[in-house]
Amino acid sequence: MSPMDPMTKEAAVRLALDALPDAPAVCTTGYTARIAALLGRPNHLPMTGSMGLALPVGTGIALASGRLTLVVDGDGSLLMNPGGLVTLGALPRVPVIHLVLDDGVYASTGGQPTPGVDVDYCALAAASGIPTVRHVRAAEALRRLLGDVSARRDGPVFVHCPVTADPAPPAPRVADEPARIARRFTAHLREAAGGGPSSAA
C-alpha cells in the first residue's frame, strides 16, 4: 500500500483515537463504535442505536466541558442528520474535531451505498459555518492534522477522510449496556474536571 492510499476504516478509527488519547471521543454507531468498544477506554463513548447523533452529543460535551472533543463519524451518519453541522457552525469557539470517515456505504447493515456519492462534504461543512475544513486520505496526513488541531484548540474543525472497507471480519457488537457505558463516560468526565472519582457501575 502506498503512503498516500486511503486507510481502512478500522485503521483510521484506531489512529484517531490513539492520536488524541486523553480527549473525550464520541464514536458513531455501527462498526466505528465496535472498534472503539474493543479498546475499552473510559474517555470513549461508543454509541449504539443512535445513528446521526454522534455530532450533536459531541458538541454538547465540548460546549459543557470546554474540552477538545473528538467525534468519529461516518458519511451515512452525517447524511442522516446534517443539521448537526449547522449547529456546530454556529458555535465558532467550541473545540470539536468532527472526523467523517467516508466509505460510501452503510457497512453494518449490508453495505448498501449511501446517497452521498456526489456530495462535497467539505463544501457542506464550510457552508454550515465550520471555520476550519480539511480533506485527508493518508494515515500520516491525518495523524499530523490531529496533532496540529490538538495543539491549537481554537474552535470546530471538520475533517473528511475517505476510507476503504476492512478485509477482516468486523469487531463484535458492543456488549456493554448503553446506560453503563454512559455512566462510565460521565464518571470519567467528572473526574477529569476535578470532581473526584465516582462509581460507574
Radius of gyration of the CA atoms of the chain, in A:
16
pLDDT of residue 201 exceeding 50, the answer is no
Query: What was the pLDDT predicted at 3?
Result: 59
The answer to whether the CB of 89 falls within 8 A of the CB of 128 is yes
**Which domain CATH number covers 170?**
3.40.50.970
Q: Write the pLDDT tens digit of every residue in 84-122.
A: 999 999 999 999 999 999 998 887 777 788 998 899 999
Determine, yes or no, domain membership for 112. Answer: yes
Confidence of residue 170 (pLDDT cuts 50, 70, 90): confident
From residue 117, alpha-carbon distances to 44, 85, 120, 165, 174 in Å are: 29, 19, 9, 16, 29
Determine, yes or no, domain membership for 108. Answer: yes
pLDDT of residue 15 exceeding 80, the answer is yes
Confidence of residue 82 (pLDDT cuts 50, 70, 90): very high
pLDDT of residue 35 exceeding 90, the answer is yes
Q: What is the mean pLDDT of residues 170-188?
A: 92
Confidence of residue 199 (pLDDT cuts 50, 70, 90): very low
From residue 109, alpha-carbon distances to 29, 103, 163 in Å are: 11, 13, 17
Phi and psi dihedrals of 12, rounded to 5? -70, -40
Determine, yes or no, domain membership for 45. Answer: yes
Place of cell 476550519: 132
pLDDT of residue 200 exceeding 50, the answer is no
Range of the domain at 53: 7-192
pLDDT of residue 131 exceeding 50, the answer is yes
Cα 49 from Cα 136, distance rounded (Å): 28
Determine, yes or no, domain membership for 54. Answer: yes
Number of domains present in the structure of the chain: 1
Question: Over the chain, what is the mean pLDDT?
Answer: 91
Determine, yes or no, domain membership for 130. Answer: yes
Determine, yes or no, domain membership for 201. Answer: no
Determine, yes or no, domain membership for 200. Answer: no
Q: Give me the sign of the Cα torsion angle 144, 67, 37, 9.
A: negative
pTM recorded for the entire structure? 0.92
Determine, yes or no, domain membership for 119. Answer: yes
Q: Give me the sign of the Cα torsion angle 155, 62, 89, 18.
A: positive
Query: What was the pLDDT predicted at 2?
Result: 57
